[in-house]
Chain A
């Protein structure tokens, strides 16, 4: 009799205790993972807040005129970002101008042309280019690519294209042209691997339809693949631009830390990011540090806008395709 009572009272107790432990475990894991995600979001906000916080003395002292002023004069406390914004724009746009068609071509080669067995091998080699640390690429840029540009490529460009303002002036071992080339090398692996993935997603029946109608491969690419992936390719290019704008180390090593706004690619220059990397140990006064971080704030705003734009395009593109099929 007593055994039956025991059985009745004790058997349900075991599962209920386990359920309690499980419920506890569920809550803990949910809260823990949620906290980590919240921390990631908070981190992004904190980065924005802190950058503007350190830059605040310079922002309140110079205002927005900082952006349109030239020169970096520490002794008279006159700082301006225009030279650097110009340098950033020129190097990034030119690098993109070279890298975008190259990346699309590489993407097409890897998705359409490469022999099947070699495809993944070549694709990983191209992606490996992105794994080279920027400081090593900068080292190569300053000691190998720079002298090549200064002695061979530069004079050649100057001789045949010197009538264009871009190739006016005397070629040097360090300068905007070297920075553009190094940035191109950094962007190409990123954009080309995104392009390759986009091209692989084009439905095979569309491609085969075009070929069956008698189109050549190039006509199929121009008529089917490129229109189909247009938005995604645009986003890939914007992401490449974001990468180029933010690269500090390699650009500092090869651009030559020059002043002023020049059309010539042989001139030395500076970008927002390279100025930061160069001045890291020479900011002594508070206003000098704040002015440097003002540059970082401008860079942050540019890179946030660029990244958000690219991500939103990618998301809309993915949404359209999943919704449309």
Chain B
């Protein structure tokens, strides 16, 4: 009787207690790991915001850097430079990216589609500094730096991102929609241009915004292509221009605390832009995908 009571006892045995303890420990560790990642994000954002926000004022956005030894001055040339470089890069990368995605998901035979996808993934995994050196060798050697050459380097980084994002939404377009258009007598290209593409517009747009956010923060491709620039505001893409990330890079290596203050302020501007755009794009993408998936 006593033996039976022990065997069927509902109080946990030491072994069960140990298993539960291990389980609890592992759950705690996983939770801590996730919290740590979020904490690091918070720490980085807060330290950039705290140091950067104080240096922001009207002059910061409208003036160029003060001459050596003088206080004040701003980063207008870097802001305009980044705007020019990223805008041209977007114009270069987005059409090609969409076309590549269309080829992969609408036209290519499966084996070739697989191969192009592999190429895009490998392109996406290339270190950005390699792409900078490639553009340096292709366009800069012999003829000098220019903003549009930096744009070309950034466009190579954006291309796989745009193509990948477009492809993912193209895959979500229901086959019935395509078949419906074809059954109504529409030709292949009319189906693609008139039915498939408009359905994916939201996804392409959010993918583009994410690619822009990524490109705006890239420094390495610009080192070799558009870094030696005059301290004036220029909108001319044939001139080398300064950019926000490159400016942060140079200022962060300086020994002067005043330069650090400017680097923090620029970092705050850049991080605000990148986080706000990528967060909005992500939220829109989730909503958009839900709608498309029905």
Contact = CB atoms under 8 A, between A and B. Distances in A.
Interface of A: 22-23, 25-26, 28-30, 32-37, 39-41, 43-44, 46-47, 50-51, 53-54, 102, 105-106, 108-110, 112-114, 120, 122, 124-129, 131-140, 142-144, 185, 188-189, 192, 216-219, 221, 239, 242-243, 245-249, 253, 273, 276-277, 280-281, 293, 296, 299-300, 303-304, 306-308, 310-311, 315
Contacts of B129: 246, 248-249, 273, 276-277, 296, 299
Interface stretch (B172-180, B233-241, B245-253): B245-253
A46 B127 contact: no
B244 to A, nearest CB: 9
8 contacts: A32-B99, A40-B96, A44-B122, A124-B279, A133-B219, A136-B248, A300-B130, A310-B125
Interface residues of B, number: 87
B165 to A, nearest CB: 14
Ordered nearest first, which 8 A-B pairs have the shortest CB separation? Answer: A133-B217, A246-B127, A22-B187, A33-B103, A36-B99, A105-B33, A307-B125, A216-B23
A246 B131 CA distance: 11
Given A44-B122, A126-B38, A218-B26, 11 more contacts: A22-B189, A43-B123, A47-B130, A120-B286, A131-B275, A133-B217, A133-B271, A144-B47, A216-B22, A253-B249, A296-B130
Given A113-B30, A219-B23, A303-B125, A25 B189 contact: yes
A253 B263 CA distance: 13
Interface in B27-64: 27, 29-31, 33-34, 36-38, 40-41, 44, 47-48
Most buried by A among B133, B190, B213, B267: B133
B122 A137 contact: no
A40 B119 contact: yes
Contact of B103 (A36, A106, A281, A293): A36
Interface stretch (B1-9, B69-77, B200-208, B220-228): B220-228
B209 to A, nearest CB: 12
A136 B48 contact: yes
Contacts of A245: 127
Given A22-B189, A124-B282, A132-B44, A113 B31 contact: yes
B189 A138 contact: no
A292 to B, nearest CB: 8
Given A34-B103, A136-B248, A109 B34 contact: yes
B275 A139 contact: no
Given A102-B37, A105-B30, A128-B275, A277 B223 contact: yes
Given A39-B96, A50-B138, A280 B224 contact: yes
